[in-house]
Amino acid sequence: MKVFYLFFCFCFPLHADWNTSFDRQTHALVEKNFVLQSPEYQKSYAEFQRIRDRLCQDVSLRTLLQGLNEGQKIVLPHPREGFLIKKRQYDRIHEFYAWEISFFLDEHPSVVWAFPLYLEGKKVIVQKMEPFFLGRGRREMPPSSEIKKVSVEEYWKAHLKAYILGLGDLLGRNIGIHPDGRIRFFDAEYCFSYKNRPYRDGNGVMLGFRAESMDWPQYRMPLDRQTAKNLQDFIQSLSYIEEKLLFYEEARGISLFSEGTHERLALLRSFLLQEGKIFRDFIGHIYPTLDPGLDQLSQIVSSIYKRKVDHGAALIFVSQHIHKYNLSQEQQRDLQAWIECYLEE
């Protein structure tokens, strides 16, 4: 299969070097890996290059970026053009890595299209806008009519891929549902880096993998025999993923994959995936110390929210929102007792 690239860049000279080097690096990476020779990747890259050429000549964008320091974050929607520009703190372009690496896991990435662009001394992310439904309201849940479109197999595959990639910010509005029922993750700024084992952090909890979608019905739907077989095949297809990740790091000249990634893969492979299992079983498998107390935590957080929640909202509360609430003495006592019982310092 021959692969052709458009390496045209009409950027100003100060910006052309990084962008052109990025194109060359990509070309070398694709030539050595057939996974990235897929029509979806090729089409996406060509579309990004066209967008990049226009943005490099955008005087208003260049002026805006000139005035930002490296620690600032901004999001610039371009709805008519169908994309967003995201400037992250300290030139982080992890959203691109998450999207590109997701091709090593599956030919249909669950991470939204994202590419890096260098302009005015800063790296920014260009992210494609897609037609999907987002969480809304206090619960940040998509409409139930859209959640029902997501098959149990899609739910498992998307979340297993998110787990491998270390997506650690899966709040409600960072999870979309495409009209065809596919799950789409975005805002993957913090990926690959979290610790796998939860631990106490003052009055709260440091926790890596948690997702608002663990409150969806699919979280507790049992696998049928065929779906379990399909998921077993998916896990089997990851047999050489460690070697692919090492190759990717070398090709991109980056260091992303700590021992945490390999530990997550090992935990995934050791999970007994069979008919009748539910995704809640997998969460218990990766968090054995929390497993006996998850239902209790849901009850505590339900009383705080004054509505019934499942493990997704409960874990996000105790790891991210606990400091935002003016809790009663009884609620504080219950939460601290739970933390002391189920977590280590």
Closest CA to 99 of 246, 211, 237, 248: 248
CA 62 to chain centre: 29
Closest CA to 295 of 282, 307, 284: 284
Q: What is the largest CA-CA distance in the chain?
A: 67
pTM, entire model: 0.90
Domain positions in the chain are 13-128, 144-342
Looking at the DSSP bridge assignments, the partners of residue 206 are 199
pLDDT tens sequence across 86-123: 999 888 899 999 999 999 998 888 999 999 999 999 99
pLDDT tens sequence across 46-94: 999 999 999 999 999 999 999 998 889 999 999 999 999 999 988 889 9
Under 8 Å between Cβ of 329 and 343: no
Report pLDDT for 15: 52
Mean pLDDT of the chain: 89
pLDDT tens sequence across 231-261: 999 999 999 899 989 989 999 988 888 778 9
Report pLDDT for 9: 41
Nearby residues of 253 by Cβ (< 8 Å), 6 or more positions away: 25
Report pLDDT for 13: 45
Cα distance between residue 269 and residue 165, in whole Å: 15
Q: Is the pLDDT of residue 138 over 60?
A: no
3-state secondary structure of 115: strand
Under 8 Å between Cβ of 186 and 102: no
Please report where in the chains the tokens 């974050």 appear, as a residue. 73
pLDDT tens sequence across 256-286: 887 789 999 999 999 999 999 999 999 999 9
Report pLDDT for 139: 62
Under 8 Å between Cβ of 336 and 329: no
DSSP code string of 99-114: HHHHHHH-SS-SB--E
Higher pLDDT, 112 or 35: 112
Q: Out of 47-61, 294-308, 331-345, pick the least confident.
A: 331-345
3-state secondary structure of 84: strand
DSSP code string of 256-309: ---HHHHHHHHHHHHS---TT--HHHHHHHH-TTTGGGHHHHHHHHHHHHTS--
DSSP code string of 133-202: B--BTTTTB--HHHHTTS-HHHHHHHHHHHHHHT---B-GGGEEE-TTS-EEE--TTS-S-S-SS-EEET
Average pLDDT (128-154) is 83
Query: Percent of the chain scored above 70 by pLDDT?
Result: 93
